[in-house]
Amino acid sequence: MVRAIVGANWGDEGKGKITDMLAAKADIIIRFQGGSNAGHTIINKYGKFALHLLPSGVFYDHTTSVIGNGVALNIPYLIKEINEIVEKGVPRPKILVSDRAQLLMPYHILQDTYEEARLAGKAYGSTKSGIAPFYSDKFAKIGIQVSELFDDEILEEKVEKICTLKNVMFKHLYHMPELDKTELMNTLHEYRDMIEPFVCDVSAYLYKAIKEGKSILLEGQLGSLKDPDHGIYPMVTSSSTLAAYGAIGAGIAPYEISDITTVVKAYSSAVGAGEFVSEILDEAVADELRRRGGDGGEFGATTGRPRRMGWFDAVASRYGVRIQGTTEVALTVLDVLGYLDEIPVCVGYDINGEITKDFPTTNKLKLAKPVYEYLPGWKCDIRGIKEYDKLPENCRKYIEFIEKELEVPVKLVSNGPGRDDIIYR
């Protein structure tokens, strides 16, 4: 059985916790897209962790963690992450890396940094992790596959082509030092030695695992609204954040994905630029929610940047759930809202005087104003509650209101940051 765990919104929904929790009964956990540009925060018996490349089920000794072919593979970052969790007492995980994954190189990070500086006030809010240049090179066919690390003839040809193209840009557009071919080859040889123990034909491995009836989790990065096709383009990421891409980014048949758990936040938050209709514009109100939010405040797990805060957006979330093909919703950080007398929920967008409940394209999104309904708060701490009917009545009404708006059942309710702070409906 293959289950995808993905986000409905801008990312930061709490997918890491849900993956970590469901991994208890899984055999294999796969990262299928993205890179080290976003983090998943996990709190368990070993402590608190912010994972970036490693799948969030890496803390169980019965699981295999896989880096799929769709991932932007920063090899030193991956090795560093493995070593960091082991140093904190986590058993050394079993890791497999697809031989078809492509390498995120130091020059990608340089190019990302240079381009953001060049764009200045019109920048895209990149984390400067090299993600956009990486995927650009992949589709321009000058990327380097893991398998190619073991063939110097191919590498030398690639390095020649890469340096020719990049150095024109670095010298004449960015006015920065050029790449050195010998240094680049040496780096690639270092990467080969670092990654060799983990390399695997992941697609063949997963084909066999599926035939054997193994339980497999596909873990997505970010959320629906950051998808380059269906998100708030151009303020998006550079790989597909949708469950459908899980089949491509892992190397399995699309019909094998039988369950799609989409993680939805009980309020909204976003890191970086882009349209955000339900954003709280009163900074004092936003900061109150930010300080109370998440497991230690709403700050980016990768960048540390304070997240932009908003109320629950039913229009964006319904769209995000639909575009993922959701079979069930996991609603997270519900406990955070216990301090409020009433809770605004964005139920529609006013665009030039017309009310819509359908999520529009970005050019129209810029014109949208939120239409709110106000629900009564429950004014108490709900952490520690394990049964749905033990939740305060207004809390249950809030969940059921969201469920009606999403048009998909809310099966999991997270009421705290810990692995066991969960209610099954």
Q: Is 17 annotated as a binding residue?
A: yes
Q: Which amino acid is at 330?
A: A
Q: Is 39 annotated as a binding residue?
A: yes
Helix axes 393-406, 314-324, angle to 10 degrees: 60
Q: Is 16 annotated as a binding residue?
A: yes
Q: Is 333 annotated as a binding residue?
A: yes
Our answer to whether residue 152 is catalytic in this structure is no
Q: Is 326 annotated as a binding residue?
A: no
Q: Looking at 12, 20, 99, 112, which residue is catalytic?
A: 12
Q: Is 303 annotated as a binding residue?
A: yes
Q: Is 14 annotated as a binding residue?
A: yes
What's the Rg (C-alpha) of the chain? 22
DSSP 279: B
Q: Is 127 annotated as a binding residue?
A: yes
Q: Is 259 annotated as a binding residue?
A: no
Q: Looking at 20, 27, 40, 52, which residue is catalytic?
A: 40
Q: Is 415 annotated as a binding residue?
A: yes
Peptide bond into 234 cis (omega under 30): yes
Cα–Cα distance for residue pair 128/196, rounded to 1 Å? 27
Chain centroid to Cα 93, Å, comes to 21
Q: Is 414 annotated as a binding residue?
A: yes
Q: Is 38 annotated as a binding residue?
A: yes
Q: Is 241 annotated as a binding residue?
A: no
Q: First CA to last CA across the chain, in angstroms?
A: 21
* Dihedral, 28, 33, 38, 42 alpha carbons, nearest 10: -10
Read off the tokens for 43.
């709190």
Q: Is 181 annotated as a binding residue?
A: no
CB 39, CB 255: distance < 8 Å:
no
Q: Which bin fits 124, alpha (ψ -120 to 50), beta or left (φ > 0)?
A: alpha
Q: Is 187 annotated as a binding residue?
A: no
Cα–Cα distance for residue pair 265/10, rounded to 1 Å? 10
Closest by Cα among 60, 38, 418, 22 to 217:
22
Q: Is 57 annotated as a binding residue?
A: no
Cite the beta strand spans of 104-215 per DSSP E. 199-200
Q: Is 41 annotated as a binding residue?
A: yes
CB 361, CB 316: distance < 8 Å:
no
Q: Is 141 annotated as a binding residue?
A: yes
Q: Is 112 annotated as a binding residue?
A: no
Containing 355, the helix (H) or strand (E) segment is: strand 354-356
CB-neighbour burial class of residue 50 (10 A; exposed 0-12, middle 13-18, buried 19+):
middle
Cα→Cα distances 238→126, 136, 175, Å:
11, 8, 25
Q: Is 23 annotated as a binding residue?
A: no
Read off the tokens for 28.
């294999």
Our answer to whether residue 12 is catalytic in this structure is yes
Q: Which long-range contacts (CB under 8 A, 24 or more apart) does 422-425 make?
A: 422/21, 423/385, 423/386, 423/387, 423/388, 423/391, 424/388, 425/388
Helix axes 75-87, 181-195, angle to 10 degrees: 40
CB 243, CB 264: distance < 8 Å:
no
Give the residue numbers of the binding site for substrate. Answer: 301-307
Give the residue numbers of the binding site for IMP. Answer: 12-15, 37-40, 127, 141, 237, 305
Give the residue numbers of the binding site for GTP. Answer: 11-17, 39-41, 307, 333-335, 414-416
Give the residue numbers of the binding site. Answer: 11-17, 37-41, 127, 141, 237, 301-307, 333-335, 414-416
Q: Which residues are catalytic?
A: 12, 40
